[in-house]
Structure 1
Amino acid sequence: MVELCRQKCAGNEKDLQYIDEFEEYYNASNAIFWFTRDIFLYRLLNKALRELDIDTIYSLRYFFKDLHTKLLERYFSTRLKSASDSLRETVFRGQLMSNKEFDEKIRHNTGGFLPVSSFFSTTLNRQLAFTYAGDGSSETEQSIVFEIDVDKNDYIFPYADISTESAFDGVESEVLFTFGAVFRILSIEKNDDNIWIVKLKLTQEEDGESKALTLQLREQILCAQYPLQSLSNLMAYMGHHDKAEKYSLLLLRDTSFISLHVLSIIYEHLGSIYHYTGRHELALEYYWKSFSVLTEHQSVVDPTLQYAHKNKGHINEEKGDYKGALFDYTEALKIQLQKENLDFYEIANSFYRIGQVYRAQKYYEQALSMHEKSLAIKLNIFPPTHPKISLSYQSIGQIYYLQGLYAKALTFYEKCLEVAMKAFHKEHSNISLIYTDIGLTYYRQADYNDAADCFQKALQVQLTTSEQNQPILATTYENLAYSLYNIGKMKEGLEHMKKACEINSKNFPSNHPKVIRDFDWVADVQKELAGGEVQAN
């Protein structure tokens, strides 16, 4: 942690001196004091949380945990001492906010949510908040005073009056909320001094991914036995598969302290990452590693062999041995259904995997039946905006697509997209896959304009979430090229196909069908364009 801070503050002698002081004198009991000092630590931690800079958050995790723990201690201590006091209180926060951020988050959002990913500093002193808000004269920023209504009986997001431990010695009457608080915007008004008064209420209502991510961060960084494993899971959930792979591989550098069960899970997780990103040989390798751990240490890891069957099913599915995959997934399901305490998510997942195998075998009615069973369970155990529900809608849509029932496919893709937009941020890799599926359906209906539009949206997401040489990105360039060609934009399509050629040439040998097909298409379109120019001349 200290080394990271030195790297971040290189060239700033004052901050480097503070870092030396921190290294010598810091302990967990004074985490609040260090956070409230106007030095490097406050800026680094809140910036990392706002930007979801997982590398920095992980490096600062011990301080992160100490600060959160101290807030919890003070929160519960205060609740016990003030049980007979007023059940409500109001705190304030004054700040400047850019016009763009204000328009996006507040101006037209009355009744909506305002999630705060960082630790959130407020004050009991209303006048002090107006001082921090500025005078309302800026043309590029808005002056805002937040008035936050808090019900002391609600345990939602811990907060505490930290005046006695603050570096400001109580001058600011500071009340600090832990990271990830979610507020509902009750009203927005501008006063005569050109300052916005925004009334908020602390809420525990769902807020899509913003809440899901902060809750996962809290659980997985603060409470996890293996933080790197948890961060890898979180990165995969967010669609950042390169970082998910990085953290899992870092954890495998020293497996001596990892339980066999967790080791098998890490191998399986890497297998799923490689499968998702189109690296099927690596996927197969890591699924085998997971299976080997499970079977070699059966009595310790998995007495029922449920997970061994599941992983062997992954292996057979990856190899194209669908008969074997179906057997193993079915065996895993039998074990799950015989348990005294049913794990409905595991059961839903088994129905899903069996459905995928039937789909690969082109047994579409059986596949549809399995996916409908999986969806029915998920709708009973998850909230309606859960990402797993989006996945089931997508899978059912894909089956209808393969049956040529394009109108039905689009209906389920639209449901899928609606849930995904609430469950994920708009640049999540799953969003790109949904746009791709919708684009392919439009393409099959010869609606090339809408197809091109969807493929363009998929591409925009992938350029922010995928490594630039992944096969999935090449596929999107190909789809976009074909669509543009069919609406007469041959030159634009040609440029996209050239990018696909470049990526596929890095991932496959020169005699691979993908590489040959793309280069042939480029050559044919170049000839067509050249012939058109000659004819015009």
Structure 2
Amino acid sequence: MLKKYYELIDSINKSIIRNATDEFDSFSVLWLDNSVNTTQENIHGQNLFRSSIGHLKTFDNVDRCEEYIRATPIDERLIFIVSGRLGRILTPRIHHLRQVSSIYVYCLDKTINEQWAVGYTKVKEIITSFPKLIEKIQEERSKRSENEVNEILPFSVSSQQHDFIASQLLTNVLLSHLLPIQNDKSQLVNLLKEKYYDIDAELKLLQAFEQNYSANQALDWYMRDSCIYRVLKRAIRQQNLKLLLSFRFFLQDVHQIIESKKCTSPVRVYRSQLLTKSELTEIYNSINHFISINTFFSTSICRELVLMFLNQSSNDLERVMFEIDADPNHMLSKPFCFIESNTCFRQTEEVLFTIGSVFRLTELHQEADGLWIVRLTSCADEDEKQLKEIFKPYYLDDKINLIAFGNLLIKLNRLADAEKFFVQLINEYVDQPCHLADCYFALGIIAEERKMYDVSLDWHKTSLEIKVKNLSENDISLAESYKHIGEIHLQKSDYKQALAAYLRALNVSLQVYDENHVRVAMCYTKLGGIYQKQEDYKDALSCYKKALAIQQKQPSDDNPDVGIAYNNVAIIYACLNQYDLAFECYEKALENLQRTLSPLHLEVAVSYCGLGLICEHKNEFEKALSFYEKTGVIYRQTLSSTHADVIEIERHIRRISSKL
């Protein structure tokens, strides 16, 4: 079943034309030169470049190059190589773009090009030797702290609660709740070897990683300039679940080292960052909320050193300094540690926070020189209570409810991530049938959301088969499966199968709940809709009336479901030509809905339109026009001008107007 599903997904993906840069490495290199693909020297340079650094895209046309740069996502970092003449043309047009990390002018005349380039801070150097050019770019990529300043900082704030919860749960799942499997490392290495097959330097590093890696070396490998670090950082930043699952052994090893070396005394540390105005606004709107830094977060105890990294200029970015008071006694089990100076990392006195560290956002202000200061503090004991309350629905016995986390991804419409997660859980839960059934059920919902109804039906049936074998016949989970199976058959216009599934859902629901429970009413409503589709108005009316009776018995006076149920009953009365009864039900529906819903809610429009149709049938054209116009007001403000309901109501209004 999984194989069949992925064959279908692959066929869909292949039909999509992607206009994106490399998904593995955030640093790509562009080379613009009129003769970049024609002279033997430049072709040799390309081969030398690709074998030593990696991804390179060449252009011989200024406009096409600019178009590519502007289409590059802002979380990419482009190193731009350009000839002197074309550099003078294009540099002013692209210098301010965040995607452009640095510019190297590769030319014959260094002196003349230094004159125009002096005003552009991203122009790192004017170079006349290709080996020197490669050396400088390699050196730039290895400058970890300088590069991180201009990278997207992945963070989420508790004021955006669902995203905050999802990022925290994902981190905790990867660090402790999904144990690595034996071949995780070999799978990751094979994946990277396939991607970097023609880059000698990376292949040598991957070979060393494959042969010599051990858990106690994880931090050294993380600090090393290699595709391992760059791919991991990008996967974290984009929350690429497929890649993160491949890296989980490495993430856990780095985290464990930070834990083993964790600080035991409070520290004040600093981190410089270039942020967009919208990112800064999000921080401003989240003062006194929590902020989760969704990556391994490097900081320094030396404020002056960190300020040196904020020497880049951009019209669209703000210079920001994070000041963090970190107390290991209040870190909610998220550790941080000092990084020892070594040959792979030049900066001393660095403090590294583990991925997913949470702080309280206490202050944001701007200093006289334009520098923004963001103050963060460790979460105190009272914060821990508040955070536990936020995450309470997603934990069972102090362990993450993995099914609930996956369902949260679906709720956030992160269907691809949710799909990968539940497929992974199938491997985890192979010996736990009830959890296994939940995974198949979730995959069924994902396929249903994608309108892949046949695939969804297969998933739901697989889930149901497991449930029938392992659950009691009155378990409400069975009803949920029957409902989704019924809904899919309804979407496929297979009313016979839809009816059979919803009748089973009703039978289970009546065994579990009181006969006046709202879930029973929902079953009756669905059954009424199926009978209505089949023009079996007698049975449709019976079901709709039962649903109405249940909704009327609910304790709340502000229950719009009563009005919706009245609308359903009214529609059937109208189909049976019992117009007085239909009119009476529409009026009762309207009275309820005007009290419980927005005046522009579409269900209110259903009542107005129904009343208009009945008045027209009775030749009460002025009343009919009034109801149609009220319907039109709602439709025009909530639906597009091309929507079928808008077109239909306009036709009604014109028809009635012609009769007056």
What is the TM-score of this pair, normalised by structure 2? Answer: 0.48
Distance in 1 between the 2:269 and 2:595 partners?
Answer: 46
Distance in 2 between the 1:276 and 1:368 partners?
Answer: 32
Distance apart, 1:34 and its partner CA: 1.7
Instruction: Select the residue among 430, 440, 455 that pairs with 1:267.
Output: 440
**Which residue does the alignment assign to 2:271?**
93
Decide whether aligned partners of structure 1 residues 142 and 284 sit closer, same or farther in structure 2, where only a CA change above 3 A counts: closer
Instruction: Select the residue among 231, 253, 258 that pairs with 1:71.
Output: 258
**Which residue does the alignment assign to 1:146?**
322
Distance in 2 between the 1:371 and 1:277 partners?
Answer: 37
Structure with max Cα Rg: 2
Distance in 2 between the 1:412 and 1:129 partners?
Answer: 56
One-letter code of the match for 2:272? G
Distance apart, 1:167 and its partner CA: 6.5
Decide whether aligned partners of structure 1 residues 177 and 359 sit closer, same or farther in structure 2, where only a CA change above 3 A counts: farther
One-letter code of the match for 2:316? T
8 Å contact kept, 2:338–2:351: yes
**Which residue does the alignment assign to 1:474?**
none
Decide whether aligned partners of structure 1 residues 402 and 53 sit closer, same or farther in structure 2, where only a CA change above 3 A counts: farther
Distance in 1 between the 2:360 and 2:429 partners?
Answer: 47
**Which residue does the alignment assign to 2:305?**
128
Instruction: Select the residue among 366, 370, 378 that pairs with 2:550.
Output: 366
Decide whether aligned partners of structure 1 residues 261 and 89 sit closer, same or farther in structure 2, where only a CA change above 3 A counts: same
8 Å contact kept, 2:331–2:358: no
8 Å contact kept, 2:293–2:358: yes
**Which residue does the alignment assign to 1:236?**
410
1:39 is aligned to 2:223: no
**Which residue does the alignment assign to 1:50?**
237
Distance apart, 1:173 and its partner CA: 2.1
Decide whether aligned partners of structure 1 residues 174 and 407 sit closer, same or farther in structure 2, where only a CA change above 3 A counts: farther
SS of structure 1 residue aligned to 2:231: helix
Distance apart, 1:244 and its partner CA: 3.7
Distance in 2 between the 1:40 and 1:125 partners?
Answer: 29
One-letter code of the match for 2:522? Q
**Which residue does the alignment assign to 2:505?**
325
Decide whether aligned partners of structure 1 residues 278 and 320 sit closer, same or farther in structure 2, where only a CA change above 3 A counts: farther
Decide whether aligned partners of structure 1 residues 151 and 303 sit closer, same or farther in structure 2, where only a CA change above 3 A counts: same
1:481 is aligned to 2:643: yes
Deviations 1:12-61 (A, max 9, x none): 55444433332232222222222222333333223222222222222222
Distance in 2 between the 1:54 and 1:169 partners?
Answer: 28
8 Å contact kept, 2:270–2:300: yes
Distance in 1 between the 2:592 and 2:305 partners?
Answer: 58
Size of the aligned set, in residue pairs, is 385
Decide whether aligned partners of structure 1 residues 238 and 111 sit closer, same or farther in structure 2, where only a CA change above 3 A counts: same
1:290 is aligned to 2:290: no
Decide whether aligned partners of structure 1 residues 96 and 309 sit closer, same or farther in structure 2, where only a CA change above 3 A counts: closer
Report sequence identity in percent.
21
**Which residue does the alignment assign to 2:20?**
none
8 Å contact kept, 1:36–1:166: no
What is the TM-score of this pair, normalised by structure 1? Answer: 0.57
Distance apart, 1:442 and its partner CA: 6.5
Decide whether aligned partners of structure 1 residues 71 and 354 sit closer, same or farther in structure 2, where only a CA change above 3 A counts: farther
Distance in 2 between the 1:411 and 1:34 partners?
Answer: 63
Distance in 1 between the 2:563 and 2:275 partners?
Answer: 47
1:186 is aligned to 2:362: yes
Distance apart, 1:481 and its partner CA: 1.8
Distance in 2 between the 1:162 and 1:144 partners?
Answer: 23
Distance in 2 between the 1:109 and 1:159 partners?
Answer: 24
One-letter code of the match for 1:119? F
Distance apart, 1:93 and its partner CA: 0.8
Distance apart, 1:147 and its partner CA: 0.6
8 Å contact kept, 2:271–2:298: yes
SS of structure 2 residue aligned to 1:289: helix
Distance in 1 between the 2:433 and 2:330 partners?
Answer: 40
Distance in 1 between the 2:244 and 2:272 partners?
Answer: 26
Distance in 2 between the 1:235 and 1:119 partners?
Answer: 22
8 Å contact kept, 2:468–2:478: no
Decide whether aligned partners of structure 1 residues 142 and 279 sit closer, same or farther in structure 2, where only a CA change above 3 A counts: closer
8 Å contact kept, 2:225–2:344: no
**CA RMSD, 1 decimal:** 4.7
1:176 is aligned to 2:360: no
Distance in 2 between the 1:173 and 1:327 partners?
Answer: 67
SS of structure 1 residue aligned to 2:339: coil
Decide whether aligned partners of structure 1 residues 108 and 165 sit closer, same or farther in structure 2, where only a CA change above 3 A counts: same
* Residue pairs, 1:239-388, within 5 angstroms: 239-241=413-415, 244-245=418-419, 248=422, 257-278=430-451, 282-296=455-469, 301-302=470-471, 306=475, 309-310=478-479, 313-314=482-483, 318=487, 319-321=498-500, 322-333=502-513, 353-360=519-526, 361-362=543-544, 363-367=547-551
Gaps of 5+ in 1: 335-349, 374-392, 415-436, 457-478, 489-520, 522-527, 529-537
Distance in 2 between the 1:246 and 1:39 partners?
Answer: 26
One-letter code of the match for 1:122? T
Distance in 1 between the 2:329 and 2:556 partners?
Answer: 41
Distance in 2 between the 1:454 and 1:60 partners?
Answer: 45
Decide whether aligned partners of structure 1 residues 303 and 142 sit closer, same or farther in structure 2, where only a CA change above 3 A counts: same
Q: Which structure carries more helix by proportion?
A: 1
* Residue pairs, 1:347-496, within 5 angstroms: 353-360=519-526, 361-362=543-544, 363-367=547-551, 397=560, 400-404=563-567, 405=589, 440-441=602-603, 443-444=605-606, 446=630, 448=632, 451=635, 454-455=638-639, 481-482=643-644, 485=647
Decide whether aligned partners of structure 1 residues 139 and 70 sit closer, same or farther in structure 2, where only a CA change above 3 A counts: same
Distance in 2 between the 1:145 and 1:57 partners?
Answer: 29
SS of structure 1 residue aligned to 2:207: helix
SS of structure 2 residue aligned to 1:47: helix
Distance apart, 1:146 and its partner CA: 0.5
Distance in 2 between the 1:413 and 1:20 partners?
Answer: 64
